[in-house]
Amino acid sequence: MADAGHAQTELQEIEDTHHGAHAGHPSVKEYIRIGLILGFFTCLEVAAKYANLASATLIVTLLGLAAVKFVLVVMYFMHLKFDDRRYARFFVMGLSLAITLFLIVLILFKVFLR
Amino acid sequence: MADVIADGHTAPAGTQEHETTTGLPSTKLAMWIFLASECLLFGALITTYLLYRGASRIGPYPNDVFDIPYTSVSSFVLLASSLTMVLAVAAAQKADLVRMRIWLLVTALLGMTFVAGQVYEFTSFSHEGLKLGTNLFGTTFYVLTGFHGLHVTVGIIMLLALTSFSQAGRLPDDGGFSVEMIGLYWHFVDIVWIVIFTVVYLIPTGPPAVK
């Protein structure tokens, strides 16, 4: 009986530890708040498109808003802010490689001077 | 319920959190490496679109066919699906299986709405004369957004499979780990759309290079 009780306690501890791995994650309310922020930024993007801004201003504004949305999803919805940093390193490595490589290609073909 | 692993510690069955040289679950690490490689795939497709932007000699051009309000609604739908996906992950981590299945189904439905919207958009563009081989804009646009739509479709299939496996009780660890992995994929598809929506639809295209 004592063994069974001990095993039950141990099992509970393991399950608590397992669920505790997600203890730092945002709450449902925070997820909804981030979702609303993402929706708001999308509204801003569409508004900027119709706001008659100068081309350079519009491009910077749109890229800035997209970058904020991108970071919010990756950090909060994909939990990179809360998970082990090694996941972030792998992802940032691939993302940085892609951005650097393709920026070089775009610069070589003078896409930004058109 | 618990498996004994090599060093004598125990882990809940099916959590896949057995001993690894990195100390991290291999599946999750592999998923992040896969997503990093997907950055290169979509980076190549977006770069190709940008390289040939404004280089079409015949129409239709982007400004002739794009319906920004319509695509904005599609973007909201995909963003909302990211929220419902994270709510499914949160429910799975609390072992609330009923809510998890509901949110997974809602996510799949929102994904289907997005794909249906894309099919409608492609059909409407085609009626306006923009086909895959019409001009450089058509080729690069359809390949980029088509690849993204294909990824969304694969995500929908995985979500539906996950829901049905969970209903049948065939998921280890009540599905928490699997839902998290598919959630990562789904959010990645969403962030790719954030970039496509901005770069392809919202940033204005210069005048066509007519020679």
The predicted-structure confidence for B80-139, as pLDDT tens digits, reads as follows 999 999 999 999 999 899 999 999 999 999 999 999 999 999 999 999 999 999 999 999
CA dihedral B104, A68, A63, B193 (to 10 degrees): -10
Q: Is B177 helix (H, G, I), strand (E, B) or coil?
A: helix
Check residue B197 and report its DSSP letter.
I
Overall average pLDDT of the A86-104 stretch: 94
Is A19 in CB contact (< 8 Å) with chain B?
yes
Contact indicator for A47, B47 with CB cutoff of 8 Å: no
Residue B4 pLDDT class (50, 70, 90 cuts): very low
Residue A13 pLDDT class (50, 70, 90 cuts): very low
For the cut 50, the answer to whether the pLDDT of residue B2 exceeds it is no
Is B2 in CB contact (< 8 Å) with chain A?
yes
CB contact under 8 A, A78 and B187: yes
Ramachandran area for residue B14 (φ above 0: left; ψ -120 to 50: alpha; else beta): left
Overall average pLDDT of the A16-34 stretch: 73
pLDDT confidence of residue B143: 97
Contact indicator for B129, B65 with CB cutoff of 8 Å: no
Contact indicator for B187, A77 with CB cutoff of 8 Å: yes
Q: Is the ipTM of this complex over 0.90?
A: no
CB contact under 8 A, B202 and A28: no
Is A35 in CB contact (< 8 Å) with chain B?
yes
Taking contacts as CB-CB distances below 8 angstroms, the residues of chain B near A28 are: 87, 90
- Euclidean distance between CA atoms A4 and B76, whole angstroms: 52
Q: Is A46 helix (H, G, I), strand (E, B) or coil?
A: helix
pLDDT tens, residue by residue, B166-192: 999 888 777 789 999 999 999 999 999
Interface size, chain A vs chain B, as Cβ–Cβ contacts under 8 Å = 143
B39, closest residue in chain A (CA to CA): A95
Peptide bond into B204 cis (omega under 30): no
What's the residue count for chain A? Answer: 114
pLDDT confidence of residue B208: 56
Is B73 in CB contact (< 8 Å) with chain A?
no
Share of chain B above pLDDT 90, in %: 74
Q: Give how far B48 is from chain A: nearest CA, Å.
A: 9
Contact indicator for B120, B145 with CB cutoff of 8 Å: no
Contact indicator for B171, B178 with CB cutoff of 8 Å: yes
CB contact under 8 A, B43 and A98: yes
Choice between B15 and B96, residue whose per-residue pLDDT is larger: B96
Q: What phi and psi values does residue B10 have, to the nearest 5 degrees?
A: -115, 155
Contacts of B87 (CB under 8 A, 6+ apart): A28, A31, B99, B103
The residues with which B12 forms a beta bridge, in sequence order, are B2
- Euclidean distance between CA atoms A16 and A76, whole angstroms: 22
Nearest to A21 by CA among B93, B180, B22: B93
Q: Give the dihedral sign, CA B184/A62/A81/A11.
A: negative
Overall average pLDDT of the A42-49 stretch: 95
> What one-letter code names the amino acid at A82?
F
Task: Give this prediction's pTM.
Answer: 0.86
Least confident of A16-25, B34-43, B66-75: A16-25
Q: Give how far A79 is from chain B: nearest CA, Å.
A: 9
For the cut 60, the answer to whether the pLDDT of residue B43 exceeds it is yes
pLDDT confidence of residue A23: 58
Indicate the average pLDDT of chain A.
84
pLDDT tens, residue by residue, A49-94: 999 889 899 999 999 999 999 999 999 999 999 999 999 999 999 9
Q: Give how far B147 is from chain A: nearest CA, Å.
A: 17
- Euclidean distance between CA atoms A6 and B3, whole angstroms: 16
CB contact under 8 A, B68 and A46: yes
- Euclidean distance between CA atoms B167 and B64, whole angstroms: 47
- Euclidean distance between CA atoms B64 and B127, whole angstroms: 12
Contacts of B119 (CB under 8 A, 6+ apart): B149
Q: Give how far A32 is from chain B: nearest CA, Å.
A: 7
- Euclidean distance between CA atoms B208 and B211, whole angstroms: 9
Nearest to B149 by CA among B60, B45, B61, B68: B45
> What one-letter code names the amino acid at A85?
R
Check residue A27 and report its DSSP letter.
P
Taking contacts as CB-CB distances below 8 angstroms, the residues of chain A near B181 are: none
Nearest to B145 by CA among B183, B195, B109, B184: B195
Choice between B209 and B2, residue whose per-residue pLDDT is larger: B209
Least confident of A12-26, A31-45, B160-174, B181-195: A12-26
CB contact under 8 A, A14 and B76: no
Contact indicator for B111, B81 with CB cutoff of 8 Å: yes
Taking contacts as CB-CB distances below 8 angstroms, the residues of chain B near A17 are: none
Smallest Cβ–Cβ distance between A45 and the set B15, B33, B198 belongs to B198
CB contact under 8 A, A94 and B187: no
Smallest Cβ–Cβ distance between A49 and the set B10, B36, B68 belongs to B68
